[in-house]
């Protein structure tokens, strides 16, 4: 082995930052979908963030799922950039530690983070992106805001609607009807498109393109059933 090759190898072994298996933080984007771990919560309304991550992984041919950072993580390539697809496994109201750990490990700024979550203030099938904002009562978002000490990160909300006749906790942790399921699957596909637009063109362009009724799958002139929550910041998710 030549002196030059040996010196390079020795430097790599001596530096924690030299990890060929890890994507470079300088070119990495993190998409964190929120939900609750375990089979009991699969396909529930509160887990639509996980579904968007799974849809993205399938669409991008992502690598194998790994357990790290308190999450299930997959790596993918999109728009010439590297994506880390993250599903925190710490339950919804403790999502912040997993997200903060990922950002800290790769030394990423909040501009590289997009959080995908459910939203009871939007009708099933609607999606909405925002560049920043409050948690709107969503405990997963609230915990992320607390752990990163900022509201300055993008989020993509997927509408699940609400049901005034039952408690919100029971509603979000239950599975949707067959009709709602069709709308949620359509929304998950649209949300995956919106994520790729964010990676390629930024949050403002993604907002302009996807924050409309028509893009959400509702034909012009039609109006989905109202759920009584018009303001997206009024989300009341447990």
State the catalytic residues.
46
| CA 61 – CA 71 distance, rounded (Å) | 19
The answer to whether 86 and 68 have CB atoms below 8 angstroms apart is no
Burial of 124 (0-12, 13-18, 19+ CB in 10 A): buried
- Dihedrals phi, psi of 154, to nearest 5 degrees: -75, 150
Nearest residue to 184 via CA among 49, 39, 36, 33: 49
* The two three-digit tokens of residue 90, written as one number: 């710490």
Give 76's strand partners.
83
| CA 48 – CA 36 distance, rounded (Å) | 10
């Amino acid at each position: 082995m030549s002196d030059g090759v040996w010196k390079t190898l020795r430097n790599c072994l001596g530096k924690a930052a030299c990890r060929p298996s890890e994507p470079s933080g300088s070119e990495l984007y993190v998409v964190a979908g929120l939900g609750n771990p375990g089979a009991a919560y699969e396909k529930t309304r509160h887990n639509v963030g996980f579904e968007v991550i799974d849809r993205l992984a399938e669409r991008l041919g992502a690598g194998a799922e790994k357990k790290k950072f308190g999450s299930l993580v997959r790596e993918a390539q999109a728009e010439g950039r590297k994506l880390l697809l993250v599903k925190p496994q710490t339950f919804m109201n403790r999502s912040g530690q997993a997200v903060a750990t990922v950002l800290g490990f790769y030394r990423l700024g909040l501009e590289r983070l997009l959080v995908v979550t459910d939203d009871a203030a939007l009708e099933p099938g609607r999606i909405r992106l925002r560049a920043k904002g409050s948690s709107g009562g969503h405990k997963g978002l609230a915990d992320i805001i607390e752990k990163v000490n900022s509201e300055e990160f993008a989020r993509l909300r997927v509408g699940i609607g609400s049901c005034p006749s039952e408690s919100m906790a029971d509603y979000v942790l239950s599975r949707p009807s067959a009709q709602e399921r069709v709308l949620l699957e359509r929304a998950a596909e649209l949300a995956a498109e919106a994520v790729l637009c964010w990676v390629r063109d930024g949050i403002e362009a993604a907002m302009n393109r996807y924050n409309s009724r028509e893009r959400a799958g509702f034909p012009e002139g039609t109006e989905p059933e109202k759920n009584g929550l018009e303001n997206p910041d009024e989300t009341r998710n447990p």
